């Protein structure tokens, strides 16, 4: 359980004069739920984007299950086993829920143009497997009855779930959730908590960015706190909660 899955080494990123990340180093262990919290603008999403290849860090780097992570290719991050959701949900709005999840299977399947044109046995089998896996995943996040609806017509909570299903379709080792509980009511948050817990139990490591401190403290095995782009503390929730610097960061000194 204590093997390191993802390690960030002195990751730095600045936008013009704004230092969004100042040498952030942290490590996520296989099988845990790791929380990343901090006030607005602390650099949480920037960290996410650097990790998943959307941004190229200005310093430092990541290693994933022992080997360095290429910094500038998002599709390679997914291939290596890092899947993510977005703070402002990014679904393929005009595709059905099922198709959204099927797209998630892209990186683990390989039918090409010729396969599509000639519809050979292997391609048809693969296509059937993609569909089946997508249906299973919709069941897993409990939105199977919305399978044929356009993603943009799903309720907010269902869209969040669909995004998680799509991310899971890539068979990630590390699932990164960017504020999944934002805008959810208490019931939905409780259900989400159950879902995330289940994902971890099924063997996927989870990195969670969240504002809802209660959710993070209740769910995460370890928590890191960012403030002004710098790492304040990385420890178990009980310790983090009592840390004076964290309280200051949140309440203002």
Partner 1 sequence: MKNGQFFRPTVSIGLLATVLVALPFVAALGGQAWVRILDFAILYAFLALGLNIVVGLAGLLDLGYIAFYAVGAYTWALLASPHFGLHWPIWAILPLGAGLACFAGVLLGSPTLKLRGDYLAIVTLGFGEIVRIFMNNLNAPINITNGPQGITLIDPVSFGAFKFSGTTQIFGLSLSGPQKYYFLLVALAILVIIVNLRLQNSRIGRAWQAIREDEIAAKAVGINTRNLKLLAFAMGASFGGIAGGIFSAMQGFVSPESFSLIESIMILAMVVLGGMGHIPGVILGAVLLTVLPEVLRYGVGPLQMALFGKMLVDPESLRMLVFGLALVLVMRFKPAGLWPSPERKRELQEAAP
- Residues binding partner 1 (CB under 8 A): 52-54, 74-75, 77-79, 83-84, 86, 90-95, 99, 102-107, 109, 111-113, 115-117, 119, 123, 126-127, 130, 150, 152-153, 166-167, 169-170
CB of 69 to partner 1, least distance (A): 14
Question: CB-wise, 146 or 222, nearer to partner 1?
Answer: 146
CB nearer to partner 1: give 126 or 197.
126
Q: Report, in Å, the least distance between residue 41 CB and partner 1.
A: 21
Residue 105 CA, distance from chain mean position: 16
* Number of other CB atoms surrounding residue 12 within 10 Å: 16
Question: Which residue number, 169 or 223, has a Cβ lying nearer to partner 1?
Answer: 169
Nearest to partner 1 of 149, 221 (CB atom): 149
> Please, which residue, 84 or 222, has the CB nearer to partner 1?
84
Candidates 168, 201, 203, 208; CA nearest to 78 is 168
Q: How far is the CB of 53 from partner 1 (least distance, A)?
A: 8
Angle at 103 between CA 87 and CA 184, to 5 degrees: 30
C-beta of 103: minimal distance to partner 1 in Å? Answer: 5
Sequence-ordered list of residues with C-beta below 8 angstroms from that of 170, at least 6 positions apart, any chain? 78, 81, 83, 104, 105, 106, 107, 108
Which is closer to partner 1, CB of 98 or CB of 240? 98
Contact 42, 227 (CB under 8 A): yes
What ranges in the chain are assigned the alpha helix state H? 44-51, 74-80, 97-104, 113-118, 121-140, 156-168, 186-201, 213-219, 237-242, 244-251
Report in angstroms how near the CB of residue 237 gets to partner 1 at its nearest: 28
Cβ contacts of 135 within 8 Å, gap of 6 or more: 98, 144, 147
Structure tokens at 115: 């396969």
Q: How many helices (H) and strands (E) does the chain have?
A: 10, 10
Q: Which is nearer to partner 1, 113 or 186 (CB)?
A: 113
Distance in Å, CB of 218 to partner 1, minimum? 27
Tell me the closest approach of the beta carbon of residue 68 to partner 1, in angstroms: 18
69, 77, 76, 90: which is closest to 164 by C-alpha? 90
């Amino acid at each position: 359980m204590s093997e390191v899955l993802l390690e960030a080494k002195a990751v730095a990123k600045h936008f013009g004069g704004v230092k969004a990340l100042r040498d952030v180093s942290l490590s996520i262990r296989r099988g845990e739920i790791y929380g990343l919290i901090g006030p607005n603008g602390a650099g949480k999403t920037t960290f996410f984007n650097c990790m998943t290849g959307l941004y190229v860090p200005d310093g430092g780097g990541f290693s994933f299950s022992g080997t360095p992570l290429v910094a500038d290719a998002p599709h390679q991050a997914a291939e290596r086993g890092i899947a993510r959701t977005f703070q402002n949900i990014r679904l393929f709005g005009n595709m059905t829920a099922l198709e959204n999840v099927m797209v998630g299977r892209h990186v683990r399947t390989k039918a090409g143009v010729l396969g599509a044109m000639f519809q050979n046995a292997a391609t048809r089998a693969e296509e059937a497997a993609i569909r089946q896996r997508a249906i299973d995943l919709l069941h897993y996040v409990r939105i199977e009855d919305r399978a044929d609806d356009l993603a943009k017509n799903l309720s907010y909570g269902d869209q969040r779930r669909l995004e998680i299903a799509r991310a899971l379709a890539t068979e990630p080792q590390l699932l990164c959730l960017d504020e999944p509980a934002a805008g959810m009511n208490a019931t939905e948050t409780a259900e989400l908590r159950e879902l995330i817990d289940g994902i971890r139990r099924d063997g996927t490591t989870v990195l969670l960015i969240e504002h809802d401190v209660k959710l993070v403290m209740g769910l995460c095995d370890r928590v890191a706190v960012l403030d002004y782009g710098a790492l304040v503390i990385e420890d178990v929730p009980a310790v983090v909660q009592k840390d004076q610097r964290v309280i200051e960061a949140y309440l203002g000194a």
